[in-house]
């Protein structure tokens, strides 16, 4: 198929433009993926991991203060102070839970949190019963309730739910990191491929310009100069080409034929 110089040059520049546009589009997509993963890590996974760790610590703190409330309140003053300390730990835990709840991002995470919340609500009911017993001076009963198998089982179940939720969020953070790293690697590979295609296209265009345009025109100029000098034996190059140089060669051949008549 015969291709004109205009079409060949337009095709070469169009190819370079397409490669550049493809590289830019791919970069935008990959960067968008990286941005999404990084935001997911920064706005969801890491805060969730931190808050779940704080919630777990706060539950232990409440249990410790409740035990101290029961075991170390020999006077009315200490009883009041220790009860106040228990209430403060409960308020701190509630604040942490309110901060965490908007970050729940999946049904699995919500199920784990609701399992903790339900268990801890039951445990908190036992704490209120302990407070009531302590206010009535029934310390032995309060201690038995606090250290009994039911309260211990509730605390352990709540802790287990928190730990499973924490592990879930750590896995999510790891997956997001791996996704961001994968997108970065893919973007890098795409950039190298696009760069190679661009360089090869530019090299092909340069070779075409040299061998397909510059050299034929130089040879044509030499032939025209020889004809102008009266050398009718000179061969006209490029007559078999189907492009603009071929048309020029045909015109020069007509000039030569007229010169020979």
80 found inside a domain: yes
Do residues 187 and 71 share a domain? Answer: yes
Do residues 174 and 246 share a domain? Answer: no
Predicted pLDDT of residue 144: 96
Predicted pLDDT of residue 3: 59
Do residues 47 and 89 share a domain? Answer: yes
**What number is the average pLDDT over the span 230-240?**
69
Confidence tier at 99 by pLDDT (50, 70, 90):
very high
Do residues 135 and 244 share a domain? Answer: no
Greater pLDDT, 44 or 147: 147
Do residues 123 and 71 share a domain? Answer: yes
8 found inside a domain: no
40 found inside a domain: yes
Is the predicted pLDDT of residue 1 greater than 60, yes or no?
no
12 found inside a domain: no
Predicted pLDDT of residue 252: 67
- CA separation for the pair 86, 108 (Å, rounded): 31
Do residues 157 and 249 share a domain? Answer: no
Do residues 39 and 167 share a domain? Answer: yes
Do residues 151 and 216 share a domain? Answer: no
Do residues 70 and 188 share a domain? Answer: yes
2 found inside a domain: no
Do residues 180 and 61 share a domain? Answer: yes
Whether pTM > 0.85 for this model: the answer is: no
**What number is the average pLDDT over the span 23-51?**
79
Domain count, the chain: 2
- CA separation for the pair 35, 131 (Å, rounded): 50
- CA separation for the pair 121, 90 (Å, rounded): 11
Do residues 138 and 29 share a domain? Answer: yes
Out of 165, 182, 197, a domain closes at 197
Do residues 231 and 163 share a domain? Answer: no
Each residue of 129-148: pLDDT tens digit? Answer: 999 999 999 999 999 999 99
Residue ranges of alpha helices (H) inside the chain are 5-40, 46-71, 76-100, 107-135, 139-147, 149-207, 215-228, 244-260
Segments forming the whole domain that contains residue 208: 203-260
70 found inside a domain: yes
- CA separation for the pair 19, 14 (Å, rounded): 9
Angle (deg, nearest 10), helices 215-228 and 244-260: 10
10 found inside a domain: no
């Amino acid at each position: 198929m015969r291709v004109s110089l205009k079409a060949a040059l337009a095709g070469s520049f169009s190819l370079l433009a397409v490669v550049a546009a493809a590289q830019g589009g791919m970069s935008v997509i990959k960067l968008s993926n990286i941005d999404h993963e990084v935001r997911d890590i920064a706005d969801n996974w890491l805060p969730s991991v931190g808050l779940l760790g704080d919630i777990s610590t706060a539950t232990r703190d409440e249990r410790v203060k409740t035990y101290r409330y029961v075991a170390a309140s020999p006077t009315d003053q200490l009883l009041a102070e220790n009860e106040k300390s228990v209430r403060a730990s409960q308020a701190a835990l509630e604040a942490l839970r309110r901060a965490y709840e908007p970050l729940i991002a999946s049904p699995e995470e919500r199920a784990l949190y609701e399992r903790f919340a339900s268990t801890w609500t039951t445990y908190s009911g036992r704490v209120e019963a302990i407070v009531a017993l302590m206010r009535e001076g029934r310390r032995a009963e309060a201690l038995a309730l606090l250290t009994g198998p039911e309260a211990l089982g509730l605390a352990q179940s709540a802790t287990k739910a928190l730990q499973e939720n924490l592990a879930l969020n750590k896995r999510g953070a790891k997956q997001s990191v791996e996704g961001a790293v994968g997108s970065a690697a893919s973007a890098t590979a795409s950039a190298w491929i696009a760069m190679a295609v661009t360089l090869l296209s530019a090299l092909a265009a340069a070779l075409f310009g040299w061998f397909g345009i510059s050299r034929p025109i130089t040879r044509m100029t030499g032939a025209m100069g020889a004809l102008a000098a009266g050398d009718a034996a000179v061969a006209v190059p490029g007559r078999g080409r189907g492009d603009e140089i071929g048309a020029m060669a045909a015109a020069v051949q007509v000039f030569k034929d007229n010169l020979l008549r």
